[in-house]
Amino acid sequence: MMSSRIAAVDVGNDSIKAIFGELEYELNIPNIMARDTEDRPVIGIEELNNKNPLDGIHIKVHSPALKDNNAIYRVGHLATKSSNATELDPGSAKSEEDQTLVMLFATLALDAVNEGNTNTFPRVKNVIDANYTLGTGLPLREVKEGKDAGYRSKLIGSVHQVEFLVTPKYQGLKVNIKFNEVKIYPEGFAAYINLVMDNHLKIINKDLIDKRIIIQDIGGLSTDIAVIKNRNVDDDKAQGFNLGVSESLEAIREEIRSKHGIELDSRRDVVEIITRKNDRNHIMVKGSRTSVHDITDRILLELAKKQYRLLRNVWQKNSQTEICYFVGGGANVLKEYIKTLNNNLDGYNIEFFEDEKESIWMMANAYYKLITDFVRKIEKPKPPQEPVKK
C-alpha cells in the first residue's frame, strides 16, 4: 500500500501556510492566481532552472472537483505580476471556490516534487503518485452551515492532477494527488487547540484550560469568533462574520494609486507596507520616500472600530469571559489600532501574539497537531487478545 504523507494546510485568504511530514517542510505561498496560456515567455530555459520554483509556479490543474477543469494558472508570486490576477472576494465561501482547491492542489504538488520526497512517493518517468492525509479547515460560519461535508467529498475518492508547465526545476512533472483521509476543522476550535496544547495534544497552558475564552480570528475575508467554555467551543455562541481586512487593504491600494499614481501588485504589498519593521507606512514616489500614514490610519482605524464592536457585542452576551485572544493575519494588521481603542474605551482583557509568525501560522500549526493525533490513534497497535478459554 502506498504510504500516506501528513499535510496540514491553512488556505488563508492572504496566503497558504502548509506543514508536511514530520515538521520537516513548510510552504508559504500568496493566495493569488491568474489564468494563463501553456507557453509563458521565458528568457533562456537554462536560466529558468536556476530560479526558485516558488517564484515561477505555472501549472495546469485537472480535477473533477473543479468547476473550471483543465485550466492553466500562474500561482503565487508569479500571479502578482499579471494584470488579471484574482484574490478571493469578500462574501465568497471558501469551500465553494475553485481558487481554494487550485491553491491547495498546487501546494501539495510542490511538496510532492520536492527532492526530499524522492523515496516517499512512487515515480514513473515524469509522473509522481502522491497520497496525503490532510488536515485543513474552514471558517466557523461555513462549518455551521454544513459546507465542510461537501468540501471533503470533493477531495476524497478522486485523483487530482497538477502538471508543472514553465516552472523552474519542475517543468514537465505531473503529480497525481489522492487523499487517504481528509479532516476539516472549524477554525475557531483549531485556534484554541493551538493555544493550550503541544504537538502531542498534551496541555501546555494550564492557566487557560478551564478559563472562559473568546478567540477572535481576523482573516482576509471573514472574522470567526469562538466562545470556549468547559474546554469546548460553544457551538451556539460561535459566530462567523463577513468582515475581514481584504476590503480595507483594497481601499488603501486604490487610494495610493489615485493619490500617488503608484500601482501595488496585490493586497500583500499593502500588508508589507503597514507591518514592516522599517519605513512602515511609507512608499517610494518617483524615488522619494513618501508617507501614506494618513491613508492607512483612516481606513484601518475604521475597520478596527468594526472589529471592536463585534468583540463588545459577543462579550456582552458572554459576560463571564475572562480573556479574548486576537489571532490571524488580520489581527496582526489591526493590533495597534484595537489596543488603542480598548485602552480608551472598555478596557477588556485582550491579548495579541507579539510573535508575528506564531499568529499567522496558528491555524496551520493547529491542523498539524490535530491530524498527527488522528494518525497516531489509527496507527496505534491494538493490545493482543487473550486466547478464548475452552
- pLDDT tens readout for residues 348-390: 999 887 667 777 788 898 899 989 988 888 876 655 555 555 4
Mean per-residue pLDDT for 82-109? 85
What is the pLDDT at residue 92? Answer: 73
What is the pLDDT at residue 305? Answer: 95
SS3 at position 209 = helix
* Residue 135: C-alpha distances to residues 10, 11, 155 (Å): 9, 11, 12
Q: H helices of 293-361, where?
A: 293-317, 329-344, 356-360
**Spatial CA neighbour of 105 closest among 40, 164, 25:** 164
pLDDT in tens, 299-315: 999 999 999 999 999 99
The mean pLDDT value of the chain amounts to 85
Mean per-residue pLDDT for 57-62? 95
- Under 8 Å between Cβ of 249 and 267: yes
Q: Determine the Cα–Cα distance for residues 220 and 380; give it in Å rounded to an integer.
A: 39
pLDDT in tens, 4-52: 999 999 998 888 999 999 888 999 998 889 988 877 766 455 466 778 8
**Spatial CA neighbour of 165 closest among 70, 73, 58, 240:** 58
* Of the ranges 114-128, 232-246, 375-389, the best mean pLDDT one: 114-128
What is the pLDDT at residue 1? Answer: 45
- Under 8 Å between Cβ of 329 and 352: no
What is the pLDDT at residue 7? Answer: 96
pLDDT in tens, 161-193: 999 998 999 999 999 999 999 999 887 677 777
Q: Which residues contact 149 (CB under 8 A, 6 or more apart)?
A: none
- Residue ranges of domains in the chain, CATH in brackets: 5-186 (3.30.420.40)
SS3 at position 160 = strand
Q: Which residues contact 90 (CB under 8 A, 6 or more apart)?
A: 221, 242, 244, 246, 247
* Residue 54: C-alpha distances to residues 107, 111, 225, 275, 289 (Å): 10, 11, 33, 23, 30
What is the pLDDT at residue 91? Answer: 65
Q: Determine the Cα–Cα distance for residues 127 and 113; give it in Å rounded to an integer.
A: 10
349 Rama sector, left if φ>0, alpha if ψ -120 to 50, beta otherwise: beta
Mean per-residue pLDDT for 219-236? 78
The pLDDT of residue 326 is above 50: yes
Query: Which comes out higher in pLDDT, residue 279 or 346?
Result: 346
The pLDDT of residue 257 is above 60: yes
